[in-house]
Each structure stands twice: as C-alpha cells, then as structure tokens.
Amino acid sequence: MTECVLAHRRSLSEYISIVGEECIQELRELAKPLRGARVLHLNATAAGGGVAETLKALVPLMCDLELNAEWCILHGADEFYKVTKTMHNGLQGMPVRLKSHMKETWLKYNSLNADLLNSNGTYDFVVVHDPQPAGVLRLLRQRNGHRNPGIWIWRCHLDLSTPRPGIWRFLKPYVDIYDAAIFTKRQYFPKDFRVPRCFEVPPGIDPLSIKNRLLDNGEVHNILLRYGVDPGRPFIFKVSRFDPWKDFCGVIDIYDLLRKEFPEVQLVLAGGGAGDDPEAWSWYQRTAAHAQGKGDIHILWGQNGVGSPELNAFQQAASVVVQKSIREGFGLVVAEALWKGCPVVASDVGGIALQIIHRETGYLVRSVNEWVEAITYLLRDSEAAGRLGSAGRRLVQEKFLITRYLGDYLRIFQTLSTEVKNA
Ligand code: UDP
C-alpha cells in the first residue's frame, strides 16, 4: 500500500461566511453525481511546497462532499529526490541533463510505487501530481498487461513553457498516456502533448487554514518579537522554499539598494525545504552568506518550511511582501499575501502574472530599477499601499480561493466521466 496522509476533517459549511451560501450550494450540487467516487491524489510529499498545501484542504473538502477521497505520497529516498529535483529544474528550463543512471533511478522508484499502488485497489479518478510519480500509470500497465481502470489525470504544477528538450523527451511517453492533464496556465500546455484533454486551472488558497485566518494584533506582535523583528519599524517580507527559482539573493540585493533611503526598514526572509527537495539547505546557506553585512536582515528556516502561524503574522504585518522568482508555476505565497491585504511587488513571471494586475492589485516588475521604484513608492505612500492591498484581497476572493479550485475539480471529473460513458 502507498502511504496515506491523514487529512483533518473540514466542513464546507464553515466557508459560507466567506464565499456565501449560493457558492456552497453550487458545490454540493456539482458533487451529487460524484458521491461515493473513489478519488486518489498522489504526490511526492506531505509537507513543504504548494502541492501539499492545497491537498491539505482539497482532500478533506472532497470527503465532506461525500467523495471517497484519499491522499497518498510516494515512497522515495534521497537518490530519487535528487533525480526528481533535476527533472523539476530541467522542466522549468535549467540547462541540466538526466544521465542514464538517473533515468534508471526514476524508473526504479516509479516501478516500486506502481507495485504499492496495485494493492490499493482501484479508483474512479487518480490525480497524479507533478513529474515525480508520473511514471506509475505506464509501469502499472506494463506490470498488469492492461490499462488500469479509472480516469487518470496528470496535474502538473510547473511552468512547462520552456522545458529542456532531453528531459521532456524522457518524461513525455509516461505522461502522454493519461486521460487528461491540468496545468495552471494555458501557456504551459506542451505543444507536442498527446493527452486528449488539457484543462487550464490555477490553484487556490484555503482562507480558513491557520496560515490564512486573521490573527489578532497581540498575536502578531508576539510572533514578531519572538523572531527578533521590531514591530515598531517597517519590514519587507518574502517566504518561499529555498530553491534556485526563488531568488532570495536577488531580494537581498534590492534591499541593499533601498536601505540607503530607508535605514529603518528591516528585511525578513522565511523558508525551508520540502520532503522531496534535497537542495533547500544549500540554498539557505548561500542566502545566509549573501546577507552578511547587508543590514537588518532576519532569515527564518524550517526543515519543512516555517510554520503557518508565523508566516501568517509576517504576511499580516509586513509593509510590503515581495515575491522575486525566476520561474513560478503559480506562487501560492502571492495569493496568501494578497488575501491579507498586504501590498505585493513581484516578478512578472508565470502564475504570478495571473494574480497581480499591475498597479491595481500589486506591482509586476522586471528590472532592478522597477523593483526599487515600486517598493520605494509603497513604503512612502501607505494609503496607496492600502488601496492596492484591498484590491488584491478582492481578487483572491473572486478567483483564488480553494472553493473555486474544488469546483473546477468537480467539473473536470464530471466532464471526463461523461466523455468516458459516451465513448
Ligand atoms: N511555505 C511554508 N513555509 C515555508 C515556505 C513555504 O508554509 O517556509 C508554504 C507557502 O506558504 C505556500 C507554499 O508553501 O503555501 C509554497 O507554495 P508556492 O506555490 O508559493 O511555491 P512552491 O513551493 O509550490 O514552488
């Protein structure tokens, strides 16, 4: 059996106060024909990163709608995660190669997990997240001599717009045989993909999670003090996994330019790793070394990420939240900050551009000058910052909550099962 993640119970009724009765009723109607359906979400880690974050809410909410939803994680080890991180980097365009022993390692663990899955029984819908477990479907078919029952969906969270050709060529035969795929943006659909149905669906955040509930000021104040951050002075905040795409060092350079004009401003950087990410600690060390001598910088590290109450407090209290990324499939951290009404300045890349309407819900920037100008403007003009923050919160309310994401999954399940019945 694959290892199942025990999800906390969630009730959709609790969301009425946020999204309204009508929205919840619509979800219940959408779910009616799917009641009792066995659904499996399979991914690489239960902790750290955006996929685990969304599954924590999505799976219990599917169960609350009486789908029989489970969340299982891959059985892996360091040698496998090293390979999958190289694949991840290459699929997002980094010039890396998969050597033959790396391909063998990927196949070995996918094969082992295919075996484990075989004893789970069958599902009506299997959603396989990202490239790490993507090989299980084909390996199951080879093992069992027939196509596994159920509808299989590959949910890719990466920015696949510029993959290294060699890595995509390796992965493609394993993902081409899925019944459908979901990407965060249409621009990520691979041009030579043979999957019959591709859906464009960005994820959403859980407004009721500990990370996103409104904290009272006393709690926020105490958390800041606990981490040595002065609540009486402004600070710029960034949170991400420590990873080559998240450009923490670039944020430090921008801060270094700003502190001449704003000597009182602090910089708080928070992050950690994920169960399947072997690179995080070395990127944390590089960041810490880069911060030396560059002012009032606080760096928070958590093995599987810094905790939710802490992130919540920092996002709530920050003068400006920044998300400087080189690639970003979606960037849940942006939605999380917008939801708290915090003004956000972020790189104009990938999924961030879905969330930030330039000068309306935040600032989308490309050059160092634009970074410095946008943050300077927001530090000087707190009213403008407040207006931006309110517009950001409204956008998340409208488009990027978990309830919308849940509805999209239900619609996709319905569409695909109707197509299978009519085939
Ligand atoms: N996160 C966290 N602690 C950390 C760093 C990140 O809880 O120290 C969470 C963050 O709040 C967000 C998710 O991990 O919910 C990261 O998702 P995102 O889409 O921004 O990036 P990914 O890690 O998936 O590339």
Q: Concatenated DSSP letters for 45-114?
A: -SSSSHHHHHHHHHHHHHHHTT-EEEEEE----HHHHHHHHHHHHHHTT------HHHHHHHHHHHHHHH
What is d(CA 269, CA 228) in angstroms, rounded to the nearest whole number? 13
Cβ atoms within 10 A of the Cβ of 232, count?
8
Per the DSSP assignment, residues forming a β-bridge with 300 are: 270
Residue 6 clears pLDDT 80, i.e. is over it: no
What's the CA dihedral at 115, 116, 119, 121 to 10 degrees?
A: -100
Q: What's the pLDDT at 274? A: 83
Residue 308 clears pLDDT 90, i.e. is over it: yes
Q: What's the pLDDT at 4? A: 83
Residue 1 clears pLDDT 80, i.e. is over it: no
What is d(CA 347, CA 321) in angstroms, rounded to the nearest whole number? 12
Length of the chain: 423
Q: What's the pLDDT at 416? A: 97
Residue 150 clears pLDDT 80, i.e. is over it: yes
Q: Give 309-331 pLDDT, tens digit per residue.
A: 999 999 999 999 999 999 999 99
- Helix boundaries (H) for 150-216: 165-175
Residue 383 clears pLDDT 80, i.e. is over it: yes
Q: What's the pLDDT at 121? A: 84
Which CATH fold would you assign to the domain 3-204+402-422? Rossmann fold (3.40.50)
Return the CATH architecture of domain 217-399.
3-Layer(aba) Sandwich (3.40)
Q: Give 88-126 pLDDT, tens digit per residue.
A: 999 999 999 999 999 999 999 999 999 999 888 899 999
Atom of ligand 1 nearest to the CA of 272: 8
Rounded (to 5) percent helix, strand, coil in the chain = 45, 15, 35
What is d(CA 348, CA 279) in angstroms, rounded to the nearest whole number? 25
If you take atom 9 of ligand 1, which residue's CA is the nearest one? 49
Higher pLDDT, 47 or 265: 265
What is d(CA 57, CA 61) in angstroms, rounded to the nearest whole number? 6
Distance from residue 49's CA to the centre of ligand 1 (Å): 4
Query: To test ligand 1's pocket by mutation, which of 132, 306, 333, 356 has the most ligand atoms within 8 angstroms of CB?
Result: 333
Can you tell me which residue has the tokens 């890396």?
A: 96
Q: Give 194-237 pLDDT, tens digit per residue.
A: 999 999 999 999 999 999 999 999 999 999 999 999 999 999 99
Contact 108, 74 (CB under 8 A): no
What is d(CA 86, CA 214) in angstroms, rounded to the nearest whole number? 38
Q: What's the pLDDT at 304? A: 85
Across the chain, mean pLDDT equals 96
Residue 286 clears pLDDT 70, i.e. is over it: yes
Query: To test ligand 1's pocket by mutation, which of 58, 240, 322 has the most ligand atoms within 8 angstroms of CB?
Result: 240
**Pick from 45-49, 216-220, 284-288: least confident:** 45-49
* Ligand 1 surroundings by CB, under 6 angstroms: 49-50, 53, 211, 239-241, 270-272, 302, 305-306, 311, 330-333, 336
Cβ atoms within 10 A of the Cβ of 322, count?
29
Per the DSSP assignment, residues forming a β-bridge with 152 are: 126
Cβ atoms within 10 A of the Cβ of 20, count?
12
One fold for both 3-204+402-422 and 217-399?
yes
Cβ atoms within 10 A of the Cβ of 34, count?
20
Distance from residue 149's CA to the centre of ligand 1 (Å): 33
- Closest by alpha carbon to 241, among 206, 284, 209, 207? 284
Atom of ligand 1 nearest to the CA of 351: 19
Q: What's the pLDDT at 101? A: 98
If you take atom 11 of ligand 1, which residue's CA is the nearest one? 333
Instruction: Write down the domain spans for the chain.
Output: 3-204+402-422, 217-399
Residue 48 clears pLDDT 90, i.e. is over it: no
pTM, full prediction: 0.97
Distance from residue 196's CA to the centre of ligand 1 (Å): 31
Residue 55 clears pLDDT 70, i.e. is over it: yes
